[in-house]
Amino acid sequence: MSFRLAFDPIRRAAVLWERRWGRASSPQAMATATSVMRVQQLLLAQFDAELADLGLTFARFETLVLLTFSREGRLPMSKVGQRLMVHPTSATNLVQRLQAQGFVERIPNPLDGRGTLAVITASGRERAEEGMQRLVAVGFGLSSLTGPERVELFRLLEKVRQGHGDFDDPAQG
């Protein structure tokens, strides 16, 4: 469900926040954090809508892309979860759904008798490519920003992520 308001509720909340708790209560930090959360909701909704008729959610698309980026199109399940930054149970669920669709296979890991590899199939590669084309066509939901603004936004969000310990060194991509 989508609502279009005649005003920005987050900006209004910041004004009311400051009135109630004062400037020292960080109304700008609250408004910024709330804006990031709202943008995340908007982007995910758009991505899921763009990918829906491909039988994908954004999370499944990310999983396919991750596997296409791997050297051999395969990764241990533990690495899938780590690289997607999700709980192992979530990674397993994503891969199982992709397997049911024929986009991924699960095979025993020859280097770890207890482990499993997620392996992208040819149809999974094709579906990842189709999804990529769709998201590129909509500018990943960021068409309202200029190129330099997207670079700056990434830099700022990267700084927040690093400050929260999301990764160690931004130069190590």
Per-residue pLDDT tens, the chain, 173 aa: give them.
567 899 999 999 999 999 999 999 999 999 999 999 999 999 999 999 999 999 999 999 999 999 999 999 999 999 999 999 999 999 999 999 999 999 999 999 988 878 899 999 999 999 999 999 999 999 999 999 999 999 999 999 999 999 999 888 756 55
Other residues' Cβ atoms within 10 Å of the Cβ of residue 48:
15
The domain segmentation of the chain, as residue ranges, is 9-23+30-162
Per-residue tokens: 99: 């397997």
Instruction: Supply the CATH classification number for the domain 9-23+30-162.
Output: 1.10.10.10
d(CA 42, CA 141): 8
Full-model pTM: 0.87
